[in-house]
Amino acid sequence: MGAHDTVAGSAAAAADAMDAMHEKGIKAFPAKTEGKGGQLLEPRIENGVKVFELTARPMMWETEPEKEVSAWAYNDQVPGPQIRVTEGERVRIVLKNELPESTSLHFHGVRVPNSMDGVDPYTQDPIKPGESFTYEFTALEPAVGMYHSHHDAQVQVPNGMAGAFLIGDMPLPASLADATVVQTVNMVLNDAGTIGLSLNGKSFPATEPYKLKVGQSMIVNYFNEGLLTHPMHLHQPKGYLIAKDGVPLATPEPGDTFVVAPGERLTVLYTATDPGVWAWHCHILNHAEGPQGMFGMVTALIVEP
Ligand SMILES: [Cu+2]
């Protein structure tokens, strides 16, 4: 009898085939794709007002190599560009609608006057295809917020119409004030629509890896723009939840898994302790790893000595 005529032998052959698929995914990571979401949007200044231009329109978006989906995007990127302003600044956002249906723009977790809340048909008329609408307000309070469609949202948001909106800088809690923060990472979670299971509009192996040196820290803002809750797990290091929905916590909460509900923004401080490539993924396992290997909501933190 040959080795593969035995039960153990055929199991070994099947395991080899499955393991080869897993290895292929890992070797492809980080896979190159067209397009990068969440890029910083530069405003122009008009009489002291920061003016940001957004255009919503359909486009093809590559979520992973050789997988192009029809997205609905702000400024041709998924997630939409990151908007950052400082407390006290006057902000104007001009939204042009080039979609085949109406839309409106909501500033989620951001204090704005009711007329700027972007919920048609209650606080404004729908922005019809071909039309524009100007939102304007003063950034009154710090925020780890989001902007997203509030029209046919179950379709428009998961198809790509969402982005990060940040006001001010997140302060470090007194107990973690020694941290050397070298980067802030915005991670927009999605699980539905044409984009599907993704981190910042990309699915593994096309997700972006992040890098720290031992002793360095990063602040991660998780934004859940999907339809499901995602327990985000970083193998190492442990993190501290320092803010919930943009509000700093009096006492940071340690953890390795942070459950981010739809609409929630959790801010976590991670400080690198041990070198290596550490997996970082949603722990609902059918969002992350199956017979074909890792997919969807998976990336890595690379810690250098
Ligand atoms: Cu998940």
Q: Please indicate, yes or no, whether residues 186 and 153 belong to a single structural domain of this protein.
A: no
- State the distance from the centre of ligand 1 to the C-alpha of 267, rounded, in angstroms: 17
If asked whether residues 81 and 199 sit together in one domain, one would say no
How does pLDDT run across 165-213, given as a tens digit for each residue? 999 999 999 999 999 999 999 999 999 999 999 999 999 999 999 999 9
> Would you say residue 55 lies in a domain?
yes
Task: Look at residues 112, 143, 167 and tell me which one is the last residue of a structural domain.
Answer: 167
> Would you say 204 and 248 are in contact if contact means Cβ atoms under 8 Å apart?
no
| CB 224 within 8 Å of CB 262 | yes
How far is it, in rounded angstroms, from Cα 305 to Cα 296? 28
* 54 and 155 assigned to the same domain: yes
Q: Which of 167, 187, 205 is the endpoint of a domain?
A: 167
Choose one of 119, 146, 167: the last residue of a domain: 167
Looking at residue 107, its amino acid is F
- For residues 213-241, give the mean pLDDT: 97
pTM of the model: 0.95
Tens of pLDDT, residues 55-94: 999 999 999 999 999 999 999 999 999 999 999 999 999 9
Instruction: Say if 29 falls within a structural domain.
Output: no
Is residue 9 very low, low, confident or very high in pLDDT (cuts 50, 70, 90)?
confident
- Same domain membership, residue 296 and residue 181: yes
Please report whether residue 51 resides in a domain. Answer: yes
Band (pLDDT 50/70/90 cuts) for residue 5 is low
How remote is the CA of residue 196 from the centroid of ligand 1, in Å?
Answer: 11
Note whether residue 117 is domain-resident.
Answer: yes
Q: Residue 96: name the closest of 76, 114, 112 by CA.
A: 76
Say whether both 52 and 160 belong to one domain: yes
Closest to 265 in 3D by CA, of 179, 163, 183: 163
60 domain-assigned: yes
What CATH number has the domain bearing residue 144?
2.60.40.420
Query: Distance between CA 208 and CA 31 in Å, rounded?
Result: 9
Is 61 a member of any domain? yes
Query: Where residue 2 falls among pLDDT bands split at 50, 70, 90?
Result: low
Asked if 179 and 237 sit in the same domain, the reply is yes
Tell me the average pLDDT of the chain. Answer: 96
Residues whose CB is less than 8 angstroms from the CB of residue 303 and which lie 6 or more positions away in sequence, other chains included: 211, 212, 213, 214, 236, 237, 272, 273, 274, 275, 276, 277, 278
Q: What range does the domain containing 200 cover? A: 174-304
273 in the same domain as 206: yes
64 Cα–ligand 1 center, Å: 17
Whether 4 maps to a domain, the answer reads no
* Same domain, residue pair 135 and 105: yes
- Ligand 1 centre to CA of 5 (Å) is 40
Cα 297 to middle of ligand 1, angstroms? 7
230 CA from centroid of ligand 1 (Å): 4
Residue 24 lies in a domain: no
Beta bridge mates, 216: 180
Number of domains in the chain: 2
Are residue 159 and residue 183 in the same domain, yes or no?
no
Q: Cα of 265 to ligand 1 centre, how many Å?
A: 15
Cα of 89 from ligand 1 centre, angstroms:
36
Q: For the residues 222-249, what does the mean pLDDT come to?
A: 97
Q: What is the rounded CA–CA span in Å between residue 6 and residue 2? A: 8
In this structure, are 137 and 195 located in the same domain?
no
Distance CA 75, CA 271 (A): 34
pLDDT digits (tens, 9 = 90+) for 263-285: 999 999 999 999 999 999 999 99
Which among 51, 248, 250 has a CA at the least distance from the CA of 168? 248
